[in-house]
């Protein structure tokens, strides 16, 4: 265990935010009963917001960003885990109220830890990260709503992004016919390689929403929000369900109640940050069972800490395909 380690630290003075790589020591870390030697983190849309300061996600400064991390425990005051255990964390306020994963060391609460599934390396777990874990939560929610493969196709919006890429792979493995909606139609071969049967332009869902549209899909996983989500709901068949897990286009939802009271459509909210541990374990077990590792590899790029700043801007601009893993020692 090293005395000094590298980390991205965000400082804020007045209204100016500055993020840079710096050297810290263990006493600089926040409270917790477990110390982790971090090997990997990842770049999610939310990470882009934190690193750039585009939205007020971080609620204290200074802050180490990175909403995910994976690594090996080196110190533990908890009887629930021990040095040498490989673990991961998604959410729990990392990079919002607690120092996150863009550092070579972390001190956290043991309650936040998920044992690393034996099917994955720490790098693969971060290739999944919050985006893939959220996708699995959305799949579980559709299954709980009895949206089975025989009911009809499933639409995935923001399909070339992290949530969308993992969702397509999972749904295809489970026997669903997947329709992928994307603004990057040049990624059609990539999306079909993940398992999508049909690729449509996001423009089909970007117009002013009507109360109801043609019934086109039995369910959907939406990471876009706003008009897109309204149009997705309007096109859902009788008794279908839509899992909403993102707001890339906005937090508003300009629609009527028509899909809910005339077609019995369900809107399923997906929250991942404070999800109770039993559901987290269920989600990670599902990922270990149903996620094709070859497809995971095909959707993943690995970068170093120094590359996070540019990656943050790229992901907010919608120019990141699939998943970005951060090797914090690179």
pTM (2 d.p.): 0.94
In a domain, 125, yes or no: no
In a domain, 109, yes or no: yes
In a domain, 144, yes or no: yes
In a domain, 280, yes or no: no
pLDDT of residue 125 exceeding 80, the answer is yes
Q: Are residues 142 and 250 in the same domain?
A: yes
- Count of structural domains within the chain: 2
pLDDT of residue 2 exceeding 70, the answer is no
pLDDT of residue 119 exceeding 70, the answer is yes
Determine the structural domain holding residue 203 and report its residue range. Answer: 131-269
Enclosing H/E stretch for 292:
none
Residues 198-209: tens digit of each pLDDT:
999 999 999 999
Mean pLDDT taken over the chain: 96
CA dist 102 to 19, 23, 73, 117, Å? Answer: 11, 12, 16, 22
Percent of the chain predicted with pLDDT > 90: 95
The predicted model gives 43-62 an average pLDDT of 93
CA dist 48 to 202, 215, 313, Å? Answer: 22, 35, 6
Q: Are residues 265 and 140 in the same domain?
A: yes
pLDDT of residue 282 exceeding 80, the answer is yes
Give me the CATH number covering residue 203: 3.40.50.720
Q: Give Dmax (Cα) for the chain.
A: 62
Q: Are residues 106 and 148 in the same domain?
A: no
Q: Beta 34-43 vs 323-327: how paired, if at all?
A: antiparallel
CA-based nearest residue to 100, from 152, 62, 74:
62
The predicted model gives 108-122 an average pLDDT of 97
Enclosing H/E stretch for 12:
strand 4-13
In a domain, 250, yes or no: yes
Q: Are residues 41 and 143 in the same domain?
A: no
Residues 227-248: tens digit of each pLDDT:
999 999 999 999 999 999 999 8
Q: Are residues 103 and 144 in the same domain?
A: no
> What pLDDT does 273 receive?
94
Q: Are residues 17 and 137 in the same domain?
A: no
Q: Are residues 202 and 136 in the same domain?
A: yes
In a domain, 287, yes or no: no
Q: Are residues 61 and 137 in the same domain?
A: no
Q: Per-residue DSSP letters for 226-252? A: HHHHHHHHHTEEEEEEEEE---TTBS-
Q: Are residues 256 and 147 in the same domain?
A: yes
Q: Per-residue DSSP letters for 131-191? A: HHHHHHHHHHHHHHTT--GGG--EEESSTTSHHHHHHHHHHHHTT--EEEEES-GGGHHHH
Q: Are residues 254 and 182 in the same domain?
A: yes
CA dist 55 to 17, 50, 270, 280, 307, Å? Answer: 11, 7, 20, 27, 20
What is the spatial distance between Cα 280 and Cα 133, in angstroms, rounded to a whole number?
A: 8
Q: Are residues 323 and 246 in the same domain?
A: no
Give me the CATH number covering residue 32: 3.90.180.10
In a domain, 91, yes or no: yes
Structure tokens at 197: 């049967």
Q: Are residues 138 and 265 in the same domain?
A: yes
In a domain, 164, yes or no: yes
């Amino acid at each position: 265990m090293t005395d000094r380690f590298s980390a991205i630290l965000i400082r804020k003075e007045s209204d100016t935010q500055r993020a840079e790589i710096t050297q810290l020591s263990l006493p600089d870390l926040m409270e917790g009963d477990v110390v982790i030697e971090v090997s990997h983190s990842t770049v999610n849309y939310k990470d882009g917001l934190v690193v750039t300061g585009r939205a007020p996600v971080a609620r204290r400064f200074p802050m180490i960003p990175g909403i995910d991390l994976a690594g090996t425990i080196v110190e533990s005051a908890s009887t629930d885990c021990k040095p040498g255990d490989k673990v991961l964390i998604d959410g729990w306020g990392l990079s919002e109220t607690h120092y996150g994963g863009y550092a070579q060391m972390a001190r956290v609460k043991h309650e936040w830890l998920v044992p690393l599934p034996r099917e994955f390396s720490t790098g693969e777990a971060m290739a999944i990260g919050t985006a893939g874990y959220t996708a699995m939560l959305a799949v579980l929610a559709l299954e709980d709503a009895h949206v089975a493969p025989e009911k009809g196709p499933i639409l995935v919006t923001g399909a070339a992004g992290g949530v969308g890429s993992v969702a397509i792979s999972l749904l295809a493995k489970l026997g669903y016919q997947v329709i992928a909606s994307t603004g990057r139609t040049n990624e059609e071969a990539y999306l079909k390689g993940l398992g999508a049967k049909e690729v449509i332009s996001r423009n089909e869902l970007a117009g002013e929403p009507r109360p109801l549209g043609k019934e086109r899909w039995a369910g959907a996983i939406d990471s876009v929000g706003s008009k897109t989500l309204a149009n997705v709901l309007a096109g859902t068949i009788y008794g279908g369900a839509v899992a909403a897990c993102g707001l890339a286009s906005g937090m508003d939802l300009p629609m009527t109640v028509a899909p809910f009271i005339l077609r019995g459509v369900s809107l399923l909210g997906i929250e991942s940050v404070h999800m109770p541990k039993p559901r987290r374990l269920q989600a990670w077990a599902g990922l270990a069972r149903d996620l094709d590792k070859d497809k995971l590899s095909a959707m993943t790029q690995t970068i170093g800490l120094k590359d996070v700043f540019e990656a943050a801007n790229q992901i907010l601009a919608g120019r990141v395909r699939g998943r970005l893993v951060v090797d914090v020692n690179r």
